[in-house]
Structure 1
């Protein structure tokens, strides 16, 4: 990797870490001020929306080989979060008071203020062991909690989607095309546990590789 690419990745990941740190601070600040789930969600949502939008660059990073990630997997993860944020939580204000909305943003923020600093430090070639441990340990409780919050929001959104026809296309129309967003979300909900476990188990395998037992002193040395 060239120096310019390395510098860009350090700057990009540092910016993402800072942005999600602001989001976490805003959520915590709202709760500390006596606000409820709705206030906490609304405090952090603008920052989360910006950072999630900027994260679309990561699809390009993977597609161009700037980072060793699968472009399709990166796109699917970005799309899943974007759907939960922009088309569910942001589109249905009644969901803001549901604790799952604030929990979703809190879990995302907690995960990203660990993940992005690790990426930045790794790109800089100066990642401390403790940060690697945190990167491959913090996700264990955070990831399931965040996914559960996303699923709760999608489930709670279904009555509103059906009643208002949100993001749905009814027949007849000039394109002769119909799309029922409620059905789409129902299918997504059914697939979520399977998709989640695929990603989660991959992270667990990576954790074993990254944090496996250290090689004994002298191992691999030639006599």
Structure 2
């Protein structure tokens, strides 16, 4: 007997909020995906104008992911804060001081790679989340949620690193957002060096997150097979 669908009227206030949050984010990322594919198809794969076509919506919906750290921290969702922070932080670093600040990253092949990987991942992930709250997740969505990451995660990470690499010469030359001594704060900051360290952190962090998803895949899909 299939599980009974959760009536929205019987949900807690927290879960009602999460349903609307996840529906909103899923639709937002669907717009990013449609904009990306529309541009690539109608511009014959050209990267010219791709950033301009997608950036407005992308900036809004990726930035809203900051709320996921708060959701985990206050116990609104069962996610580990330690797992959420690296995922959200990596996206925001690539979005703001790399893609938004350095124009030559827009011609990197990494841009369409990360746009497609991010948007497909997020459309599925947020749809899975809100349908889980309603206890009405189609089996195909569960399969996609815990299978497509096998390809999408490496593609997305590769795209992120390619864009970051494309940004480094400009960041080094202009010293954007860098702080030199002496100054009133008696502190120094170099964005170029920070981005290099950030890229190196992918070496330990990406395998950890990737293996975590494989463990989740085994747990969830294994449970589905037993139920069948």
Residue segments in structure 1 that go unaligned for 5+ positions in a row: 218-223
| Alignment-derived partner of residue 24 in structure 1 | 33
Residue in structure 2 matched with residue 221 of structure 1 by the alignment: none
SS in 2 for 1:141: helix
Counterpart of 2:5 in structure 1 is: none
Alignment of 1:140-179 (within 5 A): 140-179=150-189
Alignment size in residue pairs: 217
* Aligned match of 1:220: none
C-alpha separation between the residues in 2 aligned to 1:133 and 1:191? 30
Instruction: Say whether the 8 Å CA contact 1:89–1:153 is kept in structure 2.
Output: yes
Does structure 1 residue 215 correspond to structure 2 residue 214? Answer: no
Equivalent residue number for residue 34 of structure 1: 43
Separation in 2 of the partners of 1:190 and 1:66? 32
- In the alignment, the residues of structure 2 paired with residue 89 and residue 181 of structure 1 have an alpha-carbon distance, to the nearest angstrom, of 14
Distance 2:119 2:183 in 1: 41
Deviation larger for 4-13 or 109-118? 4-13
TM-score (norm: length of structure 1): 0.92
Aligned residue among 193, 202, 205 for 2:212: 202
Residue 187 (structure 1) aligns with: 197
**What CA RMSD, in Å, does the superposition of the two structures yield over aligned residues?**
1.7
> How far apart in 2 are the matches of 1:188 and 1:40?
25
| Cα deviation digits, residues 43-93 of structure 1 (max 9, x gap) | 112111000111111111111101001123322221110000111011001
- Give distance in 2, aligned partners of 1:6 and 1:40: 36
- Measure the CA separation in 2 of the matches of 1:10 and 1:151: 33
1:137/1:162 CA distance change after superposition, 3 Å: same
Q: CA deviation at 1:2?
A: 4.9
Q: Equivalents in 1 of 2:206, 2:95: separation in Å?
A: 17
The TM-score with structure 2 as length reference comes to 0.90
With CA pairs under 8 Å and 6+ residues apart, which has the higher RCO, 1 or 2?
Answer: 2
Question: Matched residues in 2 for 1:12 and 1:79: separation?
Answer: 19
TM-superposed deviation, 1:216: 7.9
